Structure 1
Amino acid sequence: MLEVTGASKVFGGRHGVTAVQEASLIARPGEFIAIVGESGSGKSTLARMLLGLIPPTSGGIALDGVDLRRMDPTQRRGYRRTVQAVLQDPAGSLNPRKTVRKALADVIRRHAIASRKDMERVASAALESVGLFPASAFLDRYPHELSGGQRQRVLIARALVLDPRIIIADEAVSALDASVKAGVLRVMTALQAERGIGYVFITHDLPVVQKVADTVYVMRAGRIVEHGPKKRIFEDPQHEYTRTLLAAAPRL
């Protein structure tokens, strides 16, 4: 269980800019959580804290009851394997000078997932689990030789080689065309069902949230103003800001 308890982030010291204020949430394997809100609401800052890229100014983030800031190097290494990321820009997240084979092999080697002779087998299995068949057709391609949807699938495969329990997906499908977006979402929900992977899915795309989320958190100006099961949020929103977001969203 990944738990955020009253986490705040202030940039620029005590009197600086408060990006996130007293946010609390719980993410479990097998659960699809969506965090929604307009640009500048603090969603991506919260994602960076969840990934351990920046520390909270106050409050805590814990995995299975162990606070991230109190983890020793071995525990932090385990955290990085357990909580993985899939980000908005697949082209920027892949080294243009490395083939898909090398991109996955680097992660496998760094975390000692498999021996050298088993690397291709592990990489191929990850690629095929995200719908890139046959894997041999993609292993020696460079990022510029892939479509946007294929690059995003490679990023998901790169996360999968570490066998994560939770994936933080920050606007992971927002740059994709509608049909490509649907394909990537199908991959994500299939992995949720087959492997029990949980997601913290950060987006402003409410129709996507309505389709895939289990639980919804609504952020405004750095605060979580409302959260609950998707059905309740969409059918009976309690906060005025949530009602405004839903009224402005395109309908499915």
Structure 2
Amino acid sequence: MSVLKTIEAEALKFYYDVRRYLFNYLVGIVSTTIFLSGIYYGLRLLYARAGEETAFVGLLLWIFSSSAISGLADILAEERYLGTLERISVTKSSFISIVVSRLIVNFLFGLLQFVIIGSILYLLFRPNLAPLFLSSKVFFMQFIVSIFLLLSLYGFGFFIGSLSLIFKRVVAFSSVLEYLILFFSGIVIPWEKIPFLLRVFSNFLPMTWGIRTLILIKMGEPFLFSFLNCVLYTFVILIAGISMFHYAMILVKKRGDYAFF
């Protein structure tokens, strides 16, 4: 089974899931819109210097944090609960390709949320997004930084997923991490206003270096150092997360506790 066939199968499965629980999905989008609207309105009143356009983009990118960080752990928990995790791990398609296919489908749904919620917030608040499109170079760099930012989230998701294989019930921790990212990565509270110890801690969170780079690009200040740290962090967390996930799969296979929930 090719990767495309796997993605197609996962997309079809997700489509029927949405049809069955459409109301729940709609309520989720509405609640996220209300939550982000309140935060963004407060940001416009309190921290205008940080740039409303960066806060706008940062909040929308944060939408991906839930599916990116807890997505893999949720997939593993569901398959383990249904007793199908071991069967999936021995199919012709590699287990990692099946997992990645499902994450791609989840990403596409997150992208749909990004567009819907972003459109609603824009119509409500009319933020000045002109600084994001000052030139093709500025837009291109912000696009590249956003990609690395999202990849860092998914890299951390593999790390959380590997822990969920070994220690089982760690999915709840992912929600704590999501809010740490929201409040201490520079989206809500300007990085320079964060207490020193929390500032040091925030350097190890996904999105922090990406958000700082986006702010520097928007302000026309030197951003190379932050951008290189963003790239380095992304590669390190991706390699570490995927490697740890492979190790966790080997460990679980040796212990024979695929079905233990």
Q: TM-score, normalised by structure 1?
A: 0.25
Structure having the larger proportion of residues in helix: 2
Q: TM-score, normalised by structure 2?
A: 0.25
